[in-house]
Amino acid sequence: MATKARVMYDFAAEPGNNELTVSEGEIITITNPDVGGGWLEGKNSQGERGLVPTDYVEVSDCNSWKHKNLLQLFSFQIITDGTKDGISCGNSLADQAFFDALSSNTAQTSSAAKSSNQVNNASDPWSSWNIGKSGNWDNGTSGDSWATKPESAAGQRNSASNNWDTAATFGHPQAYQGPAAADDDDWDDDWDDPKSSSPSYLGYKETESSEAGGSQRGNSRAAAMKLPLNKFPGFAKPGMEQYLLAKQLAKPKEKIPIIIGDYGPMWVYPTSTFDCVVADPKKGSKMYGLKSYIEYQLTCTEWKTGKRKAEKDETVGVMIFSTMEPEAPDLDMVEIEQKCDAVGRFTKAMDDGVKELLTVGQEHWKRCTGPLPKEYQKIGKALQSLALVFSTSGYQGESDLNEAITEAGKTYEEIASLVADQPKKDLHFLMETNHEYKGFLGCFPDIIGAHKGAIERVKESDKLVATSKITPQDKQNMVKRVSTMAYALQAEMNHFHSNRIYDYNSVIRLYLEQQAQFYETIAQKLRQALSRFPVM
């Protein structure tokens, strides 16, 4: 007997992907539930066949609960059980044993309990985070844990908005698949390291059972998170202490020199520029349309070398300061703290000024595109109405006046159009620049907080020396490294000021030029209208 399924959500097929367009409430026949990747093959009432997302249908057969669990089982793609591609096809002995256990548990569980679990899970947006926490699939609830995907419409919406890992495993290929979606790519196999341990501070602790292929499916969420993060050793020990108290800093091949210029510490800019153009984006698909992605054309040919270098980079996070070499004597702590406070005061004041200009600019934009053009249009229509009234008098000597008044009314209507279009020519660029600097300034509180935290740690170093927790040499190293951080902050601020002066000079100059041209155009049109009225 063929398995029937009811469509819960509308789905539009994409041409060339072997997909099937279905509508909410439609009944389809499942012809192949084992397609994998969160898809199944179905046939509609017109006999058309194609792929439909598993999440979009609800199996209505008597064996619906078992089918749903099997379909959801196939939809988990990120499995780090030592397979080559990170994707298991369910052919191992552990997989077979798991299927047998799942079938036996299914037969022992009542359908009423299953329905209750599905309803409860639909209202819990965090339900999919709790899949397989213990890594033990032999208990009686192992089958139910695979059914935690929300089945109701409300549950589907909650899951989409609160669980980005659900989108990564169950989502439609048109949508963004999350940070782990790119791990299937052919050139990215070296990221799929099943032996790598996730950082403990993230809350993902790898258990012994995670080494087993069948058990590790329960930790697919943790595996998806740990794949990219464990490649960067700088995040293993978060905090400023990693840099301040390191016995021996890494010696990178490339150093970032800081020189003293005319305006203080400055970065040494590279003499050669690196050009890379990302162009011609197009949508592609693989696995017979089961996976879609966006592909780009890169003019850079050394991207793979850069990728390998980034994976082995030891100077990430706070360790970036170990690559900097100020060509100046060390600063004392009083001067360091004063300069840090000065940066904080300026960035806070500039942030307030930028926000104020944005507020005023938005109000002016609304006025120029709303009430102000309407006022000019009212003046124009009133003048044209007056000319029409004058023309009904029958007096032969006023035709020139009526035409002049009509042209004056049309001039005001043209001015209304100019006023409505003007913000796009000048205010737009000023607002864009302010939005960019608003984003830049939003980064400074964290930057200044990190520097102040380092200063506080140096202040506490005397107590640590007194209690023999660190040596006097360690304290000297801390002062020297905080001095390096201070030079880096000053160099970055001088770079920021240089760009700020150039950007605001350019954009305000453009704004004033466009404003002058705008009012000159209005004045010219008014003079033309004025010339039609003779002097009496």
Q: Is there a domain that residue 143 lies in? A: no
Q: Is there a domain that residue 371 lies in? A: yes
Q: Is there a domain that residue 28 lies in? A: yes
Q: What are 423-447's pLDDT values in tens digits?
A: 999 999 999 999 999 999 999 999 9
* Average pLDDT of the residues in 351-370: 95
Question: Could you tell me the CATH number of the domain that includes residue 30?
Answer: 2.30.30.40
Q: Is there a domain that residue 196 lies in? A: no
Compute the distance between CA of residue 225 and CA of residue 204 in angstroms, rounded to an integer.
8
CA dihedral 12, 16, 18, 22 (to 10 degrees): 10
* Average pLDDT of the residues in 241-269: 84
* Average pLDDT of the residues in 390-394: 89
Q: Is there a domain that residue 215 lies in? A: no
Q: What are 191-227's pLDDT values in tens digits?
A: 344 443 333 333 333 433 333 444 444 444 444 444 4
Compute the distance between CA of residue 320 and CA of residue 250 in angstroms, rounded to an integer.
10
DSSP 73-139: HHH-----SS-SSS---S-SHHHHHHHHHHHHHHHHS-HHHHHHHHHHHHT-TTGGGGTTSS----S
Q: Is there a domain that residue 482 lies in? A: yes
- Domain final position from 35, 60, 85: 60
Structure confidence at residue 18 as a pLDDT band (50, 70, 90): confident
Compute the distance between CA of residue 119 and CA of residue 111 in angstroms, rounded to an integer.
13
Which stretch of 55-64, 313-322, 392-401 has the lowest confidence by average pLDDT?
A: 55-64
Q: What are 135-151's pLDDT values in tens digits?
A: 343 444 433 333 333 33
What long-range pairs does 313-316 form, CB within 8 A, spacing at least 24? 313/232, 313/234, 314/233, 314/234, 314/250, 314/252, 315/234, 315/250, 315/252, 316/232, 316/233, 316/234, 316/235
The 10 Å Cβ neighbour count of residue 381 is: 13
Question: Could you tell me the CATH number of the domain that includes residue 392?
Answer: 1.20.1270.60
pLDDT recorded at residue 530: 95
pLDDT recorded at residue 174: 36
Structure confidence at residue 404 as a pLDDT band (50, 70, 90): very high
Q: Is there a domain that residue 351 lies in? A: yes
Q: What are 74-101's pLDDT values in tens digits?
A: 444 433 344 444 444 444 444 444 444 4
Decide if pLDDT at 116 tops 70: no
H or E element in which residue 298 lies = strand 291-298
Task: Please compute Rg for the chain using Cα positions.
Answer: 34
**Total number of domains constituting the chain:** 2
Which stretch of 52-56, 131-135, 310-314, 387-391 has the lowest confidence by average pLDDT?
A: 131-135
pLDDT recorded at residue 316: 79
pLDDT recorded at residue 247: 77
Number of residues that make up the chain: 536
Burial class (CB in 10 A: 0-12, 13-18, 19+), 412: buried
- Among 375, 377, 381, residue whose Cα is nearest residue 414: 377
Q: Is there a domain that residue 495 lies in? A: yes
Give the residue with greater pLDDT, 290 vs 526.
526
H or E element in which residue 241 lies = helix 241-244
- Domain final position from 60, 79, 105: 60
pLDDT recorded at residue 171: 36
- Domain final position from 16, 31, 60: 60
pLDDT recorded at residue 1: 62
Which stretch of 157-166, 325-334, 444-453, 456-465 has the lowest confidence by average pLDDT?
A: 157-166
Give the residue with greater pLDDT, 182 vs 531.
531
Decide if pLDDT at 509 tops 90: yes
* Average pLDDT of the residues in 476-487: 92
Domain interval for residue 393:
240-246+253-275+315-532
Q: Half-sphere exposure of 105 toward its Cβ, with a 13 Å CA cutoff?
A: 22
Q: Which CA distances in Å does 67 have to 57, 336, 480, 520?
A: 12, 66, 65, 74
Looking at residue 44, what DSSP letter applies? -
* Average pLDDT of the residues in 161-171: 37
* Average pLDDT of the residues in 284-297: 80
Q: Which CA distances in Å does 70 have to 39, 59, 66?
A: 12, 12, 6
Structure confidence at residue 24 as a pLDDT band (50, 70, 90): confident
Determine if residue 423 is left, alpha or beta; phi over 0 gives left, psi from -120 to 50 gives alpha, anything else beta.
alpha
Decide if pLDDT at 185 tops 60: no
What letters, b where the CB count within 10 A reaches 16 and e where it falls short, cover 309-329? eeeebebebbbebbbbebeee
